[in-house]
Amino acid sequence: MHSANHWGGSFEIYNGAAESTTDDEKSRNMEWDKAALQPQRHHLDETQQSWLLYRQETKKKKYVDFGCIACSHRALKWTLYAFVFAVLVILLPTVLAKTLPKHRSKPSPPDNYTLALHKALLFFNAQKSGKLPKNNGIPWREDSGLQDGNGSDFSKLGLVGGYYDAGDNTKFHFPMAFAMTMLSWSVIEYSQKYEAIDEYKHARDLIKWGTDYLLLTFNSSASKIDKIYCQVGGSQNGSRQPDDHYCWQRPEDMDYPRPSRVVNAGSDLAGEMAAALAAASIVFRDDEVYSEKLVRGAETVYAFARDLGKRQPYSRGKPYIEPFYNSTGYYDEFIWGATWLYYATGNINYIRWATEPGFSKHSKALYRISELSVLSWDNKLPAAMLLLTRCRIFLNPGYPYEEMLHMYHNKTELNMCSYLQQFNVFNWTKGGMIQLSSGRPQPLQYVANTAFLASLFVDYLNATRVPGFQCGSKFIPLDVLRSFATSQINYILGDNPMKMSYVVGYGTKFPRHIHHRGASIPNDKRRYSCTGGWKWRDRPKPNPNNITGAMVGGPDRFDRFRDVRKNYNFTEPTLAGNAGLVAALVSLTSSGGIGINKNSIFSAVPPLYPPSPPPPPASLELLNFLSPTARALFIVLLFLKFRFRALVYTSLYTRYVHYCATSGSSCYTVHSSKQTVALLSYQCKCLWEID
């Protein structure tokens, strides 16, 4: 008997010497299962089979069967690990970002234009009249002019508030309204920049301070008015009576009469006030009640401007206005005010008036007169035409406005060409300042306004990816015009032969003897009389109070500047001048990004093309009524939904039949031997058929 071999074979050694195997083969064979060397294979019993089956099943459990695929345990495990790791990698940064304290990166330092802009806005705080807010930020200023407009029949507040115009204590409403329009325009175009430099709320507060006051100057709750207050205070040249020019007093100490001047005609004043209120209504679009109040006031005062009986300059025959703010016309304000009212209301009548050929003719808008390309408190033409060019660029209203808009666009480009030194339209100082006022004093206000227009026009074209414009046969890249704008503002900020900043408080060298009553008299709790303040006027020492941000009148045509308080042509700042400076600075600053807010100004403008009327019912009667030629044309027009914007003219020598494609219209026949007719009318789609 042999011992049992539970691994499937006997321990009996097969005697195969006759096979003549070698010693090596015998040695190898000993390592193998003896049963494997048997020439015959024994059948396995059930126990042995179960052992083999058990081993196979054990191997199969090393894999996981998902039905369509089998995966080993090890591969599945690493797949799960990888999935968990990927989830952690994706979610962990998000969780950490929300839970860990935030460390904001340090913002880049503001550019020079931003630094100057912060200061230029403060000038308006220093010019405020009335009961000042606690956060006004000018320590040497207090409440003033609280008795202004006593007896006004429009408001219980009288005429308290608003802004003093310059270094005196007069409130001129014409340049004040222009300043508010310019501030509003800059906020509308560059709101994102104001927000980025944290001046958005400040700028809006300044605008509201002005527009609240302008609403007091006429009966803004009425639908029709017959008078407007044009100024408070003032003086006549050569006056020896106590008034705003004879006296040298802080506004807080004024004790002389301050008459409120009223006009019963003045389209220029009314048109500018309408522009100011309408532009501000866009700024305050988020305050529906106040915005609507501004719009109502703007429409009321513009109706006053258009009244045939009111059409004359507001300053005519007024000795207390003409020497200071004499208006030379009012048709530019017609266009200017109508344009802003169109943007504020979307009322198509206003763009119709803004593009009225008669207004253009009487204002000489399209004349090649260099002085008319200079924006100022008196001449709004270049600004109005630029605003209408904006309408053409971004809205393209087409007929019937396209002809005038196209001409205004061309004239705007000519204005921009005239600002470039290479075309020799204006003289330039050796130091690099363009002489827009023909060498007259106080040039910087015109320089700042023009820099703003040039910079804004560049941004308009950049927004439409237009690389430049034509000056005759010469193409001008936008960088050239932008360089002009920056060079002029840089001149104001100190890049000039005097190496002096003409903005108080900006840089290390700036004027110290500003022609300004409030800044030149210390707030030492002493009251100086009308003539008692003269000693501060004539004092050779610098002003005790810096009127930060004030842009002075500027140098002469030889780039020379005299820092003398009594010489107002050099050292007096103005409200209108600083408004232009603010607008130019915000257009040039790179803080908060570049470019304009393209669509905010159009928020009230409805689609210029009304929905097409439904096509007439294509009944058998109508189709049968038409001739085969007209029927085919009718079907083609319906299929293509064809729209005509312009009139198409043709000469007809035979009988014509006019079919109007509006519901309920009747057809009629036109007989003529020769006649010019329209293929499609503006009001309704019409078909013409040659019979």
d(CA 656, CA 672) in angstroms, rounded, equals 8
Which tens digits make up the pLDDT trace of 528-579? Answer: 999 999 999 999 999 999 999 999 999 999 999 999 999 999 999 999 999 9
**pLDDT at site 502:** 99
pLDDT above 60 for 292: yes
Per the structure block, which two tokens stand in for 152?
């006004």
**pLDDT at site 591:** 84
Mean pLDDT of 212-217: 97
Mean pLDDT over each residue of the chain, to the nearest integer: 83
Other residues' Cβ atoms within 10 Å of the Cβ of residue 644: 15
Which tens digits make up the pLDDT trace of 99-134? Answer: 655 544 455 667 999 999 999 999 999 999 999 999
Which tens digits make up the pLDDT trace of 313-353? Answer: 999 999 999 999 999 999 999 999 999 999 999 999 999 99
d(CA 597, CA 594) in angstroms, rounded, equals 10
Per the structure block, which two tokens stand in for 61?
């459990």
CA distances from residue 8 to 15, 35, 50 in whole angstroms, order as listed? 19, 7, 12
Q: Which is catalytic among the residues 173, 513, 515, 516?
A: 515
Cβ 119 vs Cβ 506: under 8 Å: yes
Catalytic annotation present for 563: yes
**pLDDT at site 635:** 62
Q: Specify which of 104-108, 472-476, 682-686 reaches the highest per-range mean pLDDT.
A: 472-476
Q: With pLDDT > 90 as the criterion, what percentage of the chain qualifies?
A: 67
**pLDDT at site 615:** 59
**pLDDT at site 530:** 96
**pLDDT at site 638:** 56
Out of 127-131, 182-186, 474-478, 666-670, pick the least confident.
666-670
- Ramachandran sector of residue 130 (left: φ over 0; alpha: ψ -120 to 50; beta: rest): left
Which tens digits make up the pLDDT trace of 355-370? Answer: 999 999 999 999 999 9
Can you state the angle between helices 200-214 and 267-283, rounded to 10 degrees?
140
Q: What pLDDT band is residue 677 in, cutting at 50, 70 and 90?
A: very low
pLDDT above 90 for 90: no
Q: What pLDDT band is residue 237 in, cutting at 50, 70 and 90?
A: confident
**pLDDT at site 666:** 34
**pLDDT at site 637:** 61
With 0-12 / 13-18 / 19 or more C-beta atoms within 10 angstroms meaning exposed / middle / buried, residue 356 is: middle
Q: What pLDDT band is residue 439 in, cutting at 50, 70 and 90?
A: confident
**pLDDT at site 238:** 76
Q: Which is catalytic among the residues 252, 495, 563, 689?
A: 563
pLDDT above 80 for 409: yes
pLDDT above 90 for 508: yes
Which tens digits make up the pLDDT trace of 20-78? Answer: 444 555 444 444 444 444 444 455 566 555 545 544 444 445 565 655 566 676 766 77
* HEC string for 175-199: HHHHHHHHHHHHHHHCHHHHHHCCC
Q: What pLDDT band is residue 669 in, cutting at 50, 70 and 90?
A: very low
Q: What pLDDT band is residue 683 in, cutting at 50, 70 and 90?
A: very low
pLDDT above 50 for 682: no
How would you classify the pairing of strands 434-435 and 649-652?
unpaired
- 625 or 301, which is more confident: 301
Per the structure block, which two tokens stand in for 427?
């003289």
How many residues belong to the chain?
691
Q: Which of 309, 263, 279, 283 is nearest to 177 (CA)?
A: 279
- 290 or 28, which is more confident: 290
d(CA 635, CA 306) in angstroms, rounded, equals 47
Catalytic annotation present for 46: no
Mean pLDDT of 657-678: 34
Q: What pLDDT band is residue 527 in, cutting at 50, 70 and 90?
A: very high
Per the structure block, which two tokens stand in for 346?
């979307």
**pLDDT at site 650:** 34
**pLDDT at site 84:** 75
- 37 or 691, which is more confident: 37
- 47 or 609, which is more confident: 609
Catalytic annotation present for 332: no
CA distances from residue 104 to 95, 97, 108, 234, 615 in whole angstroms, order as listed? 17, 12, 12, 52, 60
Per the structure block, which two tokens stand in for 129?
């009249």
